[in-house]
């Protein structure tokens, strides 16, 4: 856990599930969890075959798992369509006219509800619109949308026809869109004129236009079509022959579109995420296994019921939005709430007002948000009736015990269990998490592995460590929703996840297990930052900085931050003849925003004459982290090339 947000409070209490909660929950005791978990890892074929029978298969599989490390295939020979499971399966049942998506726009008063029947119709129509625009099975479709139901409709339409989506978060820049278009080979982009965020309009179409210009100037632009959803009504550029309006496209299509018959291992989506080296990598997820894990975790971790109103606050541009706003809850036939904008618009109580107004029962958010709510003060919360809530969840970064306790008391009224869910873009769904009716929790631990997850803490040699010894988090067996690869880069897949230890998936996180077997996640131990729950590669920010004409070298590290978990600190050396100044620092921040997007905005630029390096030329990040955090430099510095660099760094201009 980060130093700054590390607990001053050591919460020793164990929070056991309330009896009434356990009685109703699908998994109501530790004995039941342990029995099922044991079966799930010792006889995964039997266990997952039973669970998968809940889903609708167009054709049953002939074999559950084929594992040739590091390549897994699940439900071989089976045919299944994700959209059919999320939509058609509920039609003609009591869920036919149930709310599938309840949406609120950021401007107060804007609301929409789509029932399962209506969502099905819209997805079928948009599937036909995609087909009409030449999209076929296996094609990549880039989605750069605001948080409106059409984002989910677009994803489900791709899934229905067997095309792969690649959703790009609205906080990424034109340059990032360009990189993702080229890497994925997307021929079509789905976007909107804009989206609302904190009272302003995010110029989504303008960013797409800029990306198109960059691609055209580069000589290779695979994008032939841009479909634009009218959200804000602002003036935008429409490129004749390339750009078309979403609503116009729907005029030409009907509402019949049979779900494609898809092999269980058909690619479902690519989602780009940051790694410790190079550009973001396209994490590839496939159909049957991913859907099963999304479904099962909603069933057992959120224990979703027909009467629930479930709200996951993540943007659809992140994996949490994929699995826990769209696919998991809809596969369960739940009501998934969706909100377009910021938590503090028009005022700091927007979330609590939404919960009260819509009777939200299950609420899933990030520690960063919880820390901000704490800072804003209880008065924003207590004026609303939050008694509808029955379960709370958190994801994205370690949660400090103070934030956990505040969430428990102030939001959960001391009655709602909290599920602290550890997982990653690569894992597709929850991996280490309490089950709310069974697992005793303690603030700060994600507790125990989910079904099918064989997690362990190992030392550098790969040996499993004993209780309370810090080490690296690994997964020793394949699970249904594990990534199937990195798009277009087989070698990087093996290298990144499977080369640290033979036969084990290396997550990139440090952790320890306590004497009760609970996992305590410390955070990334590679060169990946976690800024406000968003992953950011230090290498990405460094390469953005050195692409500025004034910069010679850059090293980026994280610094503990009370609200965001980590803040981005950049140590920069400038080229000969360049004078450093506040203006240049601001210009560099702006430059990073342009290259990567607002999501990567540096918090501090520190100019320095040189960067501390080892004799072999490696930047000593450990030292930089200590300097950034304002700590005295500790540890071995004997391999440092030029010790005088340290003195200069400590006083580097901010």
Decide if residue 523 touches ligand PRX (CB under 6 A).
Answer: yes
Q: Which stretch binds ligand PRX (CB under 6 A): 2-10, 192-200, 504-512, 546-554?
A: 504-512
Sign of CA dihedral 608, 613, 619, 624: negative
The CA-CA-CA angle for residues 524, 525, 527, to 5°, reads 85
Decide if residue 421 touches ligand PRX (CB under 6 A).
Answer: yes
Question: With respect to ligand PRX, which residue has the nearer C-beta, 373 or 519?
Answer: 519
State the maximum Cα–Cα separation within the chain, in Å, rounded to a whole number.
Answer: 75
Decide if residue 395 touches ligand PRX (CB under 6 A).
Answer: yes
- Of the candidate residues 397, 527, 540, 542, the single one contacting ligand PRX (CB under 6 A): 397
Question: With respect to ligand PRX, which residue has the nearer C-beta, 143 or 599?
Answer: 599
Question: With respect to ligand PRX, which residue has the nearer C-beta, 259 or 393?
Answer: 393
Q: How far is the CB of 400 from ligand PRX (least distance, A)?
A: 11
CA pair distance 567, 562, nearest whole angstrom: 9
Question: With respect to ligand PRX, which residue has the nearer C-beta, 22 or 273?
Answer: 273
H or E element in which residue 51 lies: helix 44-52
Beta-ladder partners of 104: 111, 339
Decide if residue 333 touches ligand PRX (CB under 6 A).
Answer: no
- Of the candidate residues 184, 186, 264, 273, the single one contacting ligand PRX (CB under 6 A): 273
Closest CA to 145 of 136, 158, 134, 154: 154
Q: Which stretch binds ligand PRX (CB under 6 A): 128-136, 154-162, 184-192, 523-531?
A: 523-531
Question: With respect to ligand PRX, which residue has the nearer C-beta, 368 or 421?
Answer: 421
Decide if residue 444 touches ligand PRX (CB under 6 A).
Answer: no
- Residue 269, helix vs strand vs coil: strand
Q: Which stretch binds ligand PRX (CB under 6 A): 186-194, 414-422, 452-460, 553-561?
A: 414-422
Supply the DSSP symbol for 404.
Answer: H
Supply the DSSP symbol for 232.
Answer: S
- Of the candidate residues 160, 165, 231, 535, the single one contacting ligand PRX (CB under 6 A): 535
- Of the candidate residues 310, 423, 493, 607, the single one contacting ligand PRX (CB under 6 A): 423
Question: With respect to ligand PRX, which residue has the nearer C-beta, 370 or 570?
Answer: 370
Decide if residue 420 touches ligand PRX (CB under 6 A).
Answer: yes
Q: How far is the CB of 498 from ligand PRX (least distance, A)?
A: 16
Site for ligand PRX in 3-32 (CB under 6 A): none
Question: With respect to ligand PRX, which residue has the nearer C-beta, 160 or 535?
Answer: 535
- Residue 519, helix vs strand vs coil: strand
CA pair distance 499, 526, nearest whole angstrom: 14
Closest CA to 194 of 107, 314, 129: 107
Decide if residue 613 touches ligand PRX (CB under 6 A).
Answer: no
Sign of CA dihedral 337, 342, 347, 349: positive
Decide if residue 319 touches ligand PRX (CB under 6 A).
Answer: yes
Q: How far is the CB of 423 from ligand PRX (least distance, A)?
A: 5
Decide if residue 439 touches ligand PRX (CB under 6 A).
Answer: no
Decide if residue 315 touches ligand PRX (CB under 6 A).
Answer: no
Question: With respect to ligand PRX, which residue has the nearer C-beta, 535 or 564?
Answer: 535
Q: Is the peptide bond before 506 cis (omega within 30 degrees of 0)?
A: no
**Shortest-Cβ-distance residue relative to ligand PRX:** 425
Q: Which stretch binds ligand PRX (CB under 6 A): 109-117, 206-214, 417-425, 463-471?
A: 417-425
3-state secondary structure 109-174: CCEEEEEHHHHHHHHHHHHHHHHHCCCCCCCEEEEECCCCHHHHHHHHHHHHHCCEEEECCCCCCH
Count the Cβ atoms, other than its own, within 10 Å of residue 263: 19
SS3 of the chain: helix, strand, coil, percent, to 5: 30, 25, 45
- Of the candidate residues 22, 297, 313, 320, the single one contacting ligand PRX (CB under 6 A): 320
- Confirm if 578 and 548 have CB atoms less than 8 A apart: no
Decide if residue 404 touches ligand PRX (CB under 6 A).
Answer: no
Decide if residue 171 touches ligand PRX (CB under 6 A).
Answer: no
Question: With respect to ligand PRX, which residue has the nearer C-beta, 227 or 271?
Answer: 271
Decide if residue 538 touches ligand PRX (CB under 6 A).
Answer: no
Count the Cβ atoms, other than its own, within 10 Å of residue 577: 6
DSSP H helical ranges for 276-366: 288-300, 319-321, 328-331, 350-358
CB-side neighbour CA atoms (13 Å) of 482: 27
Task: Please enumerate in sequence order all residues whose Cβ is within 8 A of that of 111, keeping only pairs 6 or more positions apart, or say none.
Answer: 102, 103, 104, 105
Q: How far is the CB of 256 from ligand PRX (least distance, A)?
A: 36
Decide if residue 368 touches ligand PRX (CB under 6 A).
Answer: no
Decide if residue 454 touches ligand PRX (CB under 6 A).
Answer: no
Decide if residue 508 touches ligand PRX (CB under 6 A).
Answer: yes
Tokens of 532: 């406000």
Decide if residue 524 touches ligand PRX (CB under 6 A).
Answer: yes
Q: How far is the CB of 77 from ligand PRX (least distance, A)?
A: 30
CA pair distance 189, 200, nearest whole angstrom: 23
- Of the candidate residues 181, 304, 446, 531, the single one contacting ligand PRX (CB under 6 A): 446
Question: With respect to ligand PRX, which residue has the nearer C-beta, 445 or 573?
Answer: 445
- Confirm if 555 and 571 have CB atoms less than 8 A apart: yes
The dihedral over CA atoms of 181, 186, 191, 196, expressed in degrees to the nearest 10, equals -40
How many amino acids of this chain bind ligand PRX (CB under 6 A)? 22
User: Using CB under 6 A as the criterion, which residues of the chain lie in contact with ligand PRX when the complex forms?
Assistant: 273, 319-320, 395-398, 420-425, 446, 507-509, 521, 523-524, 530, 535
């Amino acid at each position: 856990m980060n130093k700054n947000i590390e607990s001053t409070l050591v919460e020793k209490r164990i929070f056991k599930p309330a009896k009434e909660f356990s009685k109703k929950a699908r998994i109501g005791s530790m004995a039941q969890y342990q029995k099922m978990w044991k079966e799930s890892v010792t006889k995964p074929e039997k266990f997952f075959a039973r669970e998968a029978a809940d889903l609708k298969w167009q054709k049953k599989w002939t074999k559950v798992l084929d594992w040739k490390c590091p390549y897994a295939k699940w439900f071989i020979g089976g045919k299944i369509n994700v959209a059919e499971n999320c939509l058609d399966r509920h039609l003609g049942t009591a869920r036919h006219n149930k709310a599938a998506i309840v949406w609120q726009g950021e401007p107060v008063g804007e609301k929409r509800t789509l029932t399962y029947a209506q969502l099905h119709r819209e997805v079928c129509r948009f599937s036909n619109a995609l087909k009409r625009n030449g999209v076929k099975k296996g094609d990549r479709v880039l989605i750069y949308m605001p948080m409106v139901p059409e984002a989910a409709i677009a994803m489900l339409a791709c899934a229905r026809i067997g095309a792969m989506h690649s959703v790009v978060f609205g906080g990424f820049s034109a340059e990032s869109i360009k990189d993702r278009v080229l890497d994925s080979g997307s021929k079509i982009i789905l976007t909107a004129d804009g989206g609302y965020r904190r009272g302003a309009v995010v110029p989504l179409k303008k960013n797409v236009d800029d990306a198109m210009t960059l691609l055209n100037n580069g000589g290779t632009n695979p994008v032939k079509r841009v479909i634009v959803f009218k959200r804000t009504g602002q003036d935008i550029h429409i490129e004749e022959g390339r750009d078309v309006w979403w609503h116009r496209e729907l005029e030409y299509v009907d509402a019949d579109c049979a779900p494609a018959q898809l092999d269980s291992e058909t690619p479902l989506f690519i989602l780009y995420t940051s790694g410790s080296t190079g550009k973001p990598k396209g994490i590839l997820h496939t159909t049957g296994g991913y859907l099963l894990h999304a479904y099962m975790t909603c069933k057992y971790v959120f224990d979703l019921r027909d009467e629930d109103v479930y709200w996951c606050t993540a943007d659809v541009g992140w994996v949490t939005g994929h699995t826990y706003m769209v696919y998991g809850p809809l596969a369960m036939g739940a009501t998934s709430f969706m909100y377009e904008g910021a938590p503090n618009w028009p005022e700091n109580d927007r979330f609590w007002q939404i919960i009260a107004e819509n009777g939200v029962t299950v609420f899933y958010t990030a520690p960063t948000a919880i820390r901000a709510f704490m800072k804003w003060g209880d008065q924003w919360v207590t004026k609303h009736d939050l008694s509808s809530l029955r379960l709370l969840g958190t994801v994205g970064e370690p949660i400090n015990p103070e934030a956990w306790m505040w969430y428990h008391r102030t939001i959960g009224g001391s009655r709602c269990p909290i599920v602290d869910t550890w997982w990653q873009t690569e894992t597709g769904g929850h991996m280490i998490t309490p089950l709310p009716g069974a697992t005793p929790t303690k603030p700060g631990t994600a507790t125990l592995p989910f079904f099918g997850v064989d997690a362990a803490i190992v030392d550098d040699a790969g040996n499993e460590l004993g209780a309370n010894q810090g080490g690296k988090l690994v997964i020793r067996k394949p699970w249904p929703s594990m990534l199937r690869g990195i798009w277009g880069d087989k070698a990087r897949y093996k290298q990144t996840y499977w080369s640290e230890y033979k036969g084990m998936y290396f997550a990139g996180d440090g952790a320890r297990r306590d004497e009760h077997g609970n996992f305590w996640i410390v955070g990334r131990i590679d060169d990946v930052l976690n800024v406000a729950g968003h992953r950011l590669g230090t290498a990405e920010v460094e390469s953005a900085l050195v692409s500025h004409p004034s910069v010679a070298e850059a090293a980026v590290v994280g610094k503990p931050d009370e609200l965001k978990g980590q803040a981005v600190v950049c140590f920069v050396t400038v080229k000969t003849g360049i004078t450093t100044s506040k203006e240049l620092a601001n210009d560099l921040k702006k430059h990073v925003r342009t290259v990567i997007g607002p999501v990567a905005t540096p918090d501090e630029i520190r100019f320095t004459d040189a960067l501390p390096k080892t004799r072999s030329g490696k930047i000593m990040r450990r030292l930089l982290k200590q300097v950034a955090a304002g700590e005295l430099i500790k540890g071995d510095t004997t391999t440092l090339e030029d010790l005088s660099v340290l003195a200069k760094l400590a006083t580097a201009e901010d």
